[in-house]
Amino acid sequence: MKFQIPIPSSFAEMTVEELLERQWLVPKKIRHFLRSKRHLLLNGQTCSWQNPVRAGDELTLLFDEDDYPKKAVPFGQAELVDCLYEDQHLIIVNKPEGMKTHANQPGEIALLNHVSAYVGQACYVVHRLDRETSGLVLLAKNPFVLPILNHLLEDKKISRQYWALVQGRLTNRTSTYRDKIGRDRHDRKKRLVTAKGKAAITHVRRFKEFSGPKGPSSLVNCQLETGRTHQIRVHLAHHGHPIIGDPLYSKVPARRLMLHAHQLSFIHPFTREKVIIKAQSTSFEKGLPK
């Protein structure tokens, strides 16, 4: 693999070492490979790791197959991919409800397989959505950028926002749920709020209220600070507002789980540009009360 990365005009001068370690968050193992093999070029020339990097420069990174062993991903159907953003390092797609993000069993074909077919090479999931949830999913197009994006996600520098249609009317216009979430010992498919669970933070904002034959409901926006399994679904249900159509946590049926990941935003690790991607879902909109 070979990557040529131009340094943006907004870049503040720093050394090669500082750029790789502090800004691009390149893992120590990969930095060692680049250094020992002299596989990093500054403006086409080999360089010291103390060389300054300035706006307008270009870094070239070279990787052997033993740096990143080839990953085999069975290709799915490229035509099923709704791509909303793509560059040489990453791709953001709009996943339909009813499709798994990645396969759990041998022979399964999921979103990852379809995106890999669309790109023409194995891709890597940065974060996942539940099968029943529609919306934006970020994937890395190469193993070099994957840990960098994972680090941004762990540091809460990738913002994910969801729309949810929930039962009842929320008392407050805005709320923050901080209940810890763990496994349900009685049902392996479910999660629950428990004092021994992992930290989970969800910010909720009420958009609109509806009245209907099945009772009142509310359209809310949820922003994640953490990414626990079923986090939004569990938090809303625990606070008395389960998502309509949720097969695990709600008793109000619908044509689909009324949860859609509608916005994804972050600072691109290489261009330093703000990336804000929004996605609509026809099936989610059709499920809203009139």
Set 57, 130, 155, 184: catalytic member = 130
How long a stretch of residues is the chain? 290
Q: 87 catalytic, yes or no?
A: no
- The token pair that represents 144 in the structure block: 């070099």
DSSP for the chain reads -EEEEEPPTTPPPEEHHHIIIIIS---HHHHHHHHHTT-EEETTEE--TTSEE-TT-EEEEE--TTTSPPPP-----GGG--EEEE-SSEEEEEEPTT--SS-SSTT---HHHHHHHHHTS--EESS---TT-EEEEEEESSTTTHHHHHHHHHTT-EEEEEEEEEES--SSSEEEE---EEE-TT-TT-EEE-TTSB---EEEEEEEEE--TT--EEEEEEEESS--TTHHHHHHHHTT-PBTT-TTT-SS--SS--EEEEEEEEE-TTT--EEEEE---HHHHHTS--
Encoded amino acid at 145, one letter: V
**Phi, psi angles (nearest 5°) of residue 169:** -115, 130
| Backbone φ/ψ region at 52: left (φ over 0), alpha (ψ -120 to 50), beta | beta
Instruction: Tell me the catalytic residues.
Output: 130
